[in-house]
Structure 1
Amino acid sequence: MKTWYPEADLVIAHPKIYTVAITCDEVKQGKTDFPIIEDGGVAAKDGRIIAVGTAAEMDRYIGDNTNVIDATGKILTPGFVECHMHCKWTGEQMLNLDFNGVTSRQAILDAVAEKAANTPDGEWIEGDGWNELIWEDSQEVITRRELDEVAPNNPVILLHMSVHTIAANSLALEACGYTKDTPQPEGAEIGHYDDGELDGLLYENGALQPMLKAKPPLTDAQHLESLELIGRRLNSFGITSAIDANLNYKQMHIYNEARKQGKLSYRANLMFYLDPQFGSFEDNLRRLEEMDCVTGFGDEMLKLNGCKVTLDGITAAFTAAMSRREYRQRPGYYGDTIYTQEEIDALVCKATELGWQFGIHTIGDASEDRALHAFQEANKIRPVKELRHYLIHYQLPYEDQWPIMKELGVGVCLQPTLVSQMGEEPLFWPEQVERFQSPGLMFKNGILAGGSSDSPVVSPNPMLGMYYAITRLDETTGKTLSKGDESKVTPIEALIMWTKNSAFFSHDDDKMGSVEVGNFADLCLFDSDFVTGDVEAYRDTKVAKTILGGKVVYEG
């Protein structure tokens, strides 16, 4: 039997505390100041914060069974909250070839060749994170024939940084059943050379999913290992809670098994995915009806967050849906959404009727407008503000959308690291670049903006995300993606993005995202004060300790 003691389980003494003790409503009203406690202290009991104040005030909570951490000279923040990434997927990819940040096309081919030379014939080779926009030797994408040359005896699939494109070799295409005569999937594309033969390039989920299903499935042990791997990585970045998007039934069951076995080291909020890859529009409407539980079902470590729809693609593949301006590099072309206006309206309205929160992937302004129209229709059924429907990415913000968003309480999950490292700046018109996925404009106009990464597209490290939100630097060009400072945020606003604001999207802002009595004891300790220091130091700032529910889960 576990013995209970009256004293605190944990006391952290002498840090400088950035409490982020502020409400989301206050943030939307323009307030960004909150108490900062010098020589502070925090006490936690049974996973919750029971006292916040000065170090001297913590003495009364210390007993024989209290873990006391002397944090002299350190800063303490709430645990970071990631409001949009693919945790399970990232964990799986940690076992593959990693091409994130690789700036050479030839280096990728060489890596595949080396892997093939040490892999038994017939075994699949997977790689992730390639991005032709940052290659220095050539920006011509890798296709089937080149992959056949370096790996003739192994199926090969290489997933693009955007997670919207795959490059595959002949054996992988054969395993998937793709031929030059395979019909084009709805809302997706199977690529061909000029001579009509398959070039190995697959675009969007409708083409990707058959390939991903063709490869050997992970074992149950590998599934669980992937959640442990990503948990350790997230904890190393100070992340204590994350929204995991694009999940199907099996992946949610794996999460439940990990929870039962004590293998979850972050609070996981799961998003049920409604996509044409799982069936027709009618099938997805039925899937909503068939779900036995909705948003909020679960416990403090694992719960259902909402439904997610990918409404359009990405700019780099010309699959994002535009309306106000055509594609800069494809005159007369605007792209289109995956679901029609009538279909997305019906999905959101049905989900709203059933009590689901709804998040929509929107890259182009046409998809943003259609998503907001769907939210307006759903609001006639039930107040959207209560359910907290939101936009994911929101790449092209326009003023005429903001009154609708403020009326309905629609927030946005932004990914500054993705914007900086994707290399899409040359694809946009100059006036679009200045406000491209702009966190500063959101703060200045009363739209709640949460911090996220879209990992595995880019690193989930919040320190990088905060750096790019503050500087608006495009790493691929060296340019600043801002007109003056209007698109930038301050260091305090960046911290709010990855704490209190992000907690809003999992309905947890009343229990996490700030250092306050009654909240989860989810905390981060740092050796240096990145908030007041040189902004360039963000790139190298490391977490000293990550604390989840009053227990240390990572120590640097």
Structure 2
Amino acid sequence: MNTWYPEADLVIQHAKIYTVALTCDEVKAGKTDFPIIENGGVAAKDGKIIAVGTADEVAPLIGEHTQVIDATGKILTPGFVECHMHAKWTGENLLNLDFMGVKSRQAILDAIAEKAAQAEPGEWIEGDGWNELIWEDSQELITRRDLDAVAPNNPVFLLHMTVHTIAANSLALEAVGYTKDTPQPEGAEIGHYDDGELNGLLWENGALQPMLKTKPALTDEQHLQSIELIGQKLNAFGITSVIDANLNYKQMHMYNEAHRQKRLSYRANLMFYLDPQFGSFEDNLRRLDEMDCVTGFGDEMLKLNGCKVTLDGITAAFTAAMSRREYRQRPGFYGDTIYSQEEIDALVCKATELGWQFGIHTIGDASEDRALHAFQEANKIRPVKELRHYLIHYQLPYEDQWPIMRELGVGVCLQPTIVAQMGEEPLFWPEQAERFQSPGLMFREGILAGGSSDSPVVTPNPMLGMYYAITRLDETTGKILSKGDESKVTPIQALIMYTKNAAFFSHDDDKMGSVEVGNFADLCLFDEDFITGDVERYRTVTPEKTILGGTVVYER
């Protein structure tokens, strides 16, 4: 039996505290100033903040059993909140070959050859994170014949950094059952060479999922290890809460097991995925009706967040749905959405009727328009402002969409690091490149913008996300993607994006994302003030400590 003591469990003394003590309504109204406490103190008890003030004001809460952290010369912020990533998937990828940031096509092939030389015949080889747009030796895609040459005895598949493309060899394709005569899946593509043979390239979920389902399944212990591994990585970045999207039933079950075994070190908000890979449109409507639980079911560490739909693909694969302008690289081509207008309307309306929050992946402006139309239809059933429906990515913002978004309270989850590292700028028309995924415009227009990464697409490091939101630097070209300062944010706005704003999307902005009495004691301690210092420090600064519910879960 635990003994309860009438004193704080944790007191942090003498820190400069960036409280981010704002409401989301205030942020939408243009307010970005909040109390910054010099020589501040924070006290926590039973996982919650019980006092915030000066060091002297919280000192009386220190007792015999209180853990005291002297933070002289350091800054304290809320724990960072990640409002859109694939945490479980990222954890699973940590068990594979990592090609994130690798700038050489040949280096990838060499790594696979080395792995194949060590593997048993028939053992699957998996790699993640490749991006041909940053290769310096050649941007020719790796195909089946390339992989056959370096790994003739092992099934191989490589998942693109966008998670929308796979490159596979012959053994992997054979294991799935793909042949040159396999029909094209709905909303996806199985690639072919000019001679009609399979080239090993697969695009979008309808083609990817059979491969992902065919590879050897993780054991339960590997599932739990993946949750622990990504938890360690997230905590080292100062992240204490995550919205984890695109989960299947097994992954959600293993989250529950990790929570039961106390192996979960971040607050996990799970997204119920409605995608054609799980069946037809009618199947997904039925799945909504069959779910016993909706948004909010769970506890402080693990709960259901909302439904997610991937409405279109990505610009780099020409699978995003455009309308106002054709693809710059493919004249006359606009792409299309995965669900029709009638289908996405029906899914969102059914989910709204049942009380689900709804997040929609929208890259092209046609998909954005269709998503907003669905939200308008759903609003006739129930105010979507209460449910907090939102757009994921919102890559191409247009002025005529903003009044609808303000009226319905539709926010956006943005990924500044993708903008900087994906290398898509040459694919856009110039006026699109200046604005795509523009956090500065969202602050200006009163639309709530949350910070996220879409990891494993890019690193979930929020410091880099804030850096790129502030600078709008495209690392692949050296260009600044902003018309003046229009698309940029200030350091304070960047902090708000990755704390209070991001907490909005899990309905937690009243209990996290700021250092206030009554909130979870989720905190980050840094040994330098990156907010007032040289912006280049964002590239290298890391937390000294990360605190979850009053307990230190990471210490540098």
The TM-score, its normalising length taken from structure 1, stands at: 1.00
SS in structure 2 opposite 1:199? strand
Cross-structure match for 1:425: 425
AA paired with 1:63?
G
Runs ≥4 in structure 1, deviation > 4 angstroms?
none
Cross-structure match for 2:359: 359
Q: Are 2:139 and 1:134 aligned?
A: no
Shift of 1:251: 1.2
SS in structure 2 opposite 1:15? strand
Cross-structure match for 1:285: 285
Cross-structure match for 1:85: 85
Q: Are 2:514 and 1:511 aligned?
A: no
AA paired with 1:136?
E
- What is the RMSD of the two structures over their aligned residues, measured on CA atoms? 0.3
**Counterparts of residues 190-229 of structure 1 (less than 5 Å):** 190-229=190-229
Percent of paired sites with the same residue? 87
Cross-structure match for 2:240: 240
Shift of 1:249: 1.5
Shift of 1:59: 1.4
SS in structure 2 opposite 1:370? helix
Q: Are 2:419 and 1:434 aligned?
A: no
AA paired with 2:251?
Q
Aligned mates of 1:195, 1:497 — CA distance in 2:
49
**Counterparts of residues 109-258 of structure 1 (less than 5 Å):** 109-258=109-258
SS in structure 2 opposite 1:519? coil
Aligned mates of 1:114, 1:191 — CA distance in 2:
26
Shift of 1:167: 0.2
Aligned mates of 1:337, 1:204 — CA distance in 2:
12
Cross-structure match for 2:263: 263
Q: Are 2:472 and 1:477 aligned?
A: no
Cross-structure match for 2:294: 294
Cross-structure match for 2:345: 345
Aligned mates of 2:263, 2:107 — CA distance in 1:
36
SS in structure 1 opposite 2:454? coil
1:219-273 superposed Cα distances (whole Å, 9 cap, x missing partner): 0000010000000000000000000000122111111111110010000000000
Shift of 1:185: 0.2
Aligned mates of 1:339, 1:463 — CA distance in 2:
35
Aligned mates of 2:172, 2:316 — CA distance in 1:
24
SS in structure 2 opposite 1:163? coil
Shift of 1:131: 0.4
Cross-structure match for 2:46: 46
AA paired with 2:462?
P
Aligned mates of 2:348, 2:436 — CA distance in 1:
26
Aligned mates of 2:298, 2:440 — CA distance in 1:
34
Aligned mates of 1:395, 1:454 — CA distance in 2:
13
Cross-structure match for 2:14: 14
Aligned mates of 1:419, 1:292 — CA distance in 2:
38
AA paired with 2:324?
R
Aligned mates of 1:142, 1:258 — CA distance in 2:
37
Cross-structure match for 1:29: 29
SS in structure 2 opposite 1:235? helix
Aligned mates of 1:240, 1:329 — CA distance in 2:
41
AA paired with 2:221?
A
Aligned mates of 1:281, 1:3 — CA distance in 2:
54
1:279-307 superposed Cα distances (whole Å, 9 cap, x missing partner): 00000000000000000000000000000
Aligned mates of 1:160, 1:267 — CA distance in 2:
27
AA paired with 2:438?
S
SS in structure 2 opposite 1:420? helix
SS in structure 1 opposite 2:544? strand
SS in structure 1 opposite 2:421? helix
AA paired with 1:214?
T
Q: Are 2:402 and 1:392 aligned?
A: no
Aligned mates of 2:300, 2:134 — CA distance in 1:
41
Cross-structure match for 1:57: 57
Consecutive unaligned residues of structure 2, counting only runs of 5 or more, are: none
**Counterparts of residues 101-112 of structure 1 (less than 5 Å):** 101-112=101-112
SS in structure 2 opposite 1:14? strand
Cross-structure match for 1:320: 320
1:503-552 superposed Cα distances (whole Å, 9 cap, x missing partner): 00000000000000000000000000000000000000011000000000
Cross-structure match for 1:70: 70
AA paired with 1:31?
K
1:341-365 superposed Cα distances (whole Å, 9 cap, x missing partner): 0000000000000000000000000
Aligned mates of 1:478, 1:176 — CA distance in 2:
41
Shift of 1:81: 0.2
Q: Count residues with an aligned counterpart.
A: 556
Consecutive unaligned residues of structure 1, counting only runs of 5 or more, are: none
Cross-structure match for 1:450: 450
AA paired with 1:269?
N
1:113-150 superposed Cα distances (whole Å, 9 cap, x missing partner): 00000011100000000000000000000000010000
1:200-231 superposed Cα distances (whole Å, 9 cap, x missing partner): 00000000000000100000000010000000
Aligned mates of 1:542, 1:252 — CA distance in 2:
30
1:27-85 superposed Cα distances (whole Å, 9 cap, x missing partner): 00000000000000000000000000001112100000000000000000000000000
Shift of 1:311: 0.0
Aligned mates of 2:264, 2:101 — CA distance in 1:
28
Aligned mates of 2:302, 2:214 — CA distance in 1:
30
Aligned mates of 2:75, 2:151 — CA distance in 1:
50
AA paired with 2:26?
E
Q: Are 2:379 and 1:379 aligned?
A: yes
Aligned mates of 1:170, 1:153 — CA distance in 2:
10
AA paired with 2:341?
Q
AA paired with 2:228?
E
AA paired with 1:538?
Y
SS in structure 2 opposite 1:37? strand
Aligned mates of 1:396, 1:181 — CA distance in 2:
37
Cross-structure match for 1:308: 308
**Counterparts of residues 528-543 of structure 1 (less than 5 Å):** 528-543=528-543
SS in structure 1 opposite 2:432? helix
**Counterparts of residues 482-501 of structure 1 (less than 5 Å):** 482-501=482-501
The TM-score, its normalising length taken from structure 2, stands at: 1.00
SS in structure 2 opposite 1:450? strand
AA paired with 1:189?
E
Aligned mates of 1:50, 1:33 — CA distance in 2:
23
Aligned mates of 2:164, 2:456 — CA distance in 1:
12
Aligned mates of 1:337, 1:530 — CA distance in 2:
41
Aligned mates of 1:50, 1:211 — CA distance in 2:
50
Aligned mates of 1:59, 1:159 — CA distance in 2:
52
